[in-house]
């Protein structure tokens, strides 16, 4: 499967899972538009890691592009769906929670990639 497609589908799965957790915690009901929005948001967040494939961009800038694009998408979709009121306190709270979730997911993927690299390097050394 194409790496970009796989990443996009993973983004949809992760975004949907996080949304299900929030639905369970806050006991909210969502309609088709919200479901579609969650899928769209997950797809964009899953697609954005394509930036990590560009070798000439330093890692901190890749992270800023990925995080920035994800935040922008989140706030566009959350504004359309009225998930976060356009007031300073809720926006700051949503930004904080979103950034923390993003960092945790990013670190998980970083650890997985480091482990995979170590396994590959070990196999290469054995050859």
pLDDT tens, the chain, 127 aa long: 798 999 999 999 999 999 999 889 888 888 999 999 999 999 999 999 999 999 999 999 999 999 999 999 999 999 999 988 889 999 999 999 999 999 999 999 999 999 999 999 998 888 8
Instruction: Encode the chain in three state secondary structure.
Output: CCHHHHHHHHHHHHHHHHHHHHHHHHCCCCCHHHHHHHHHHHHHHHHHHHHHHCCCCCHHHHHHHHHHHHHHHHHHHHHHCCCCCCCHHHHHHHHHHHHHHHHHHHHHHHHHHHHHHHHHHHHHHHC
Give domain limits for the chain.
3-126
Report the alpha-carbon distance of residue 6 to residue 106 in Å, rounded.
16
Torsions phi, psi for 19 (to 5 deg): -65, -40
CA distance 48 to 63: 10
- The pTM assigned to this predicted structure is 0.82
């Amino acid at each position: 499967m194409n790496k970009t497609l796989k990443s996009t589908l993973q983004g949809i799965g992760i975004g949907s899972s996080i949304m299900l957790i929030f639905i369970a915690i806050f006991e909210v009901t969502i309609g088709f538009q919200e479901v579609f929005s969650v899928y769209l948001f997950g797809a964009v967040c899953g697609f954005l890691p394509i930036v990590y494939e560009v070798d000439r961009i330093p890692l901190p800038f890749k992270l800023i592009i990925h995080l920035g694009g994800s935040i922008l998408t989140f706030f566009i979709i959350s504004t359309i769906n009225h998930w976060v009121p356009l007031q300073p306190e809720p926006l700051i709270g949503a930004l904080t929670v979103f950034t923390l979730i993003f960092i945790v997911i990013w670190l998980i993927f970083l650890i997985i990639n480091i482990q995979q690299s170590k396994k590959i390097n070990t196999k290469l050394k054995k050859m």
